[in-house]
Amino acid sequence: MTASACTRVALLHGAVAADAPPDQVDTLVQREAVAAALRHLGAEPVPVVADLDLAATAARLRAATVDAVFNLVDDLCGQDALAPVAALVAAGCGLPITGAPPAALLACAHKPTVKRLLHAAGLPTPDRDPGHGTSGGGGPWIVKSAWDHASRGLDAEALCPDLDSARRRIGRMTAAYGGEWFAERYVEGRELNVALLDDGGGGARVLAVAEIGFEGLPPGCPRIVGYEAKWRPGSPADLATPRRFVDPQAEPALIARAADLARGCWTLFGLRGYARIDLRVDGSGRCWVIDVNPNPGLAPDAGMAACAAHAGLTYEGLIAHILASAGVSLTGRAAAAAGR
């Protein structure tokens, strides 16, 4: 892809209400961090809010007179399912946009669809509830939102001993929060996060394989990364689930399996720029894909930035590389930071 010269970059993000929950407030943290990185790289960041008035969103992008769009949209009006629409609007304006293309964002938006595509491609993912025509079903099962990608509703009660109790949980969550919920088989074991960065040739390189430590959780507490652990820094759940990195010298086979699966997901979904693939590792050492995240958070303390730092890439270098992967060139300084 031929890079286009760029001096002004729109930071496209959803509106954040004054009383927004922590996962939505994180959008503003990302916006400020990316803006600071862009200034360091010699570009001018221009915040642009995306909302459900698509014509107005397009008008704001055009009025901003930017050369490219850095996509930070995780939701529109609190709905994660609508986030891909913002990328479609930016593409409709003829602007290069960072991260996964709209088609990939759409493909990854609905978790049951992701699981169906993974199964069809022969990539291992835990089975989901086979449907209401069956009963019983040995567990455990874990109940998740089909559309939400911020771990809302993911807590100790999400883990259910059998399929009947999982379906009751689905009914309660649907009544309380609306939307679509589903159950998948819970994989007891380790949890890995594989951070991927575009290699410039259509493929991906693995920055690092991070692992969530569960040793700090009390006995009987499900070994999962719930909402509290993910979005409330300093909370007991957060402190009990620290991030560490899998040592490639100590566990080369695990690193290789995780990397192969992550790259398989990258190719299957047509990802670009950067991504994070979440895996569980069962007692036999088999890896299972539990989430494909085409636009992981870019807060400086989030997993993507941590994996970049572990790989020797500065935060500014990460941002420059993401832009370069979208065909956007800033300055010689940015190119040096991106290592391209």
- Examine residue 44 and state whether it is found in any structural domain, yes or no: yes
* Residue environment code for 158-173, b if the CB has 16+ CB neighbours within 10 A, otherwise e: bbbeebebbbebbeeb
The half-sphere exposure of 230 on its side-chain side, counting CA atoms within 13 A, is 20
pLDDT 10s digits, 6-18: 689 999 999 999 9
pLDDT average, residue stretch 179-192: 96
The answer to whether 279 and 132 are in contact (CB under 8 A) is no
Handedness of CA 211, 215, 217, 220 (dihedral sign): positive
Q: Are 161 and 199 in the same domain?
A: no
pLDDT average, residue stretch 206-219: 94
pLDDT at 129: 87
pLDDT at 133: 47
- Give me the number of domains the chain comprises: 3
- Examine residue 324 and state whether it is found in any structural domain, yes or no: no
Q: Are 204 and 289 in the same domain?
A: yes
Asked whether residue 338 carries a pLDDT value surpassing 80, the answer given is no
Give the SS3 label for residue 311.
Answer: coil
Reference 83, options 68, 58, 102; nearest CA is 102
Strand partners, 10: 46, 69
Q: What count of residues does the chain have?
A: 340
pLDDT average, residue stretch 246-258: 97
- Examine residue 144 and state whether it is found in any structural domain, yes or no: yes
Domain range for residue 172?
A: 138-185
- Examine residue 130 and state whether it is found in any structural domain, yes or no: no
pLDDT average, residue stretch 108-137: 86
pLDDT at 176: 93
Q: Are 193 and 289 in the same domain?
A: yes
Q: Are 175 and 270 in the same domain?
A: no
pLDDT range class, residue 340, cuts 50, 70, 90: very low
pLDDT average, residue stretch 29-39: 97
- Examine residue 196 and state whether it is found in any structural domain, yes or no: yes
Q: Are 194 and 284 in the same domain?
A: yes
Q: Are 148 and 37 in the same domain?
A: no
Tell me how far apart the terminal alpha carbons of the chain are, to the nearest angstrom. 13
Reference 41, options 340, 336, 333, 338; nearest CA is 333
Q: Are 114 and 210 in the same domain?
A: yes
Q: Are 161 and 235 in the same domain?
A: no
pLDDT range class, residue 3, cuts 50, 70, 90: low
Amino acid at 207: L
- Examine residue 298 and state whether it is found in any structural domain, yes or no: no
Q: Are 117 and 248 in the same domain?
A: yes
- State the CATH number of the domain containing residue 76: 3.40.50.20
Q: Are 181 and 170 in the same domain?
A: yes
Instruction: Quote the CA–CA distance of 315 and 67 in Å, as a whole number.
Output: 22
- Rounded (10°) CA dihedral 103, 107, 109, 111: -170
pLDDT at 26: 93
Q: Are 212 and 270 in the same domain?
A: yes
Poorest-pLDDT segment among 90-94, 154-158, 167-171, 265-269: 154-158
pLDDT range class, residue 137, cuts 50, 70, 90: low
- Examine residue 132 and state whether it is found in any structural domain, yes or no: no
pLDDT at 37: 97
Instruction: Quote the CA–CA distance of 98 and 252 in Å, as a whole number.
Output: 32
Instruction: Quote the CA–CA distance of 226 and 231 in Å, as a whole number.
Output: 9
**How high does pLDDT run on average in the chain?**
92
pLDDT at 174: 96
pLDDT range class, residue 287, cuts 50, 70, 90: very high
The answer to whether 92 and 233 are in contact (CB under 8 A) is no
Asked whether residue 242 carries a pLDDT value surpassing 80, the answer given is yes
pLDDT at 136: 52
pTM of the model as a whole:
0.92
Q: Are 207 and 230 in the same domain?
A: yes
The answer to whether 251 and 259 are in contact (CB under 8 A) is no
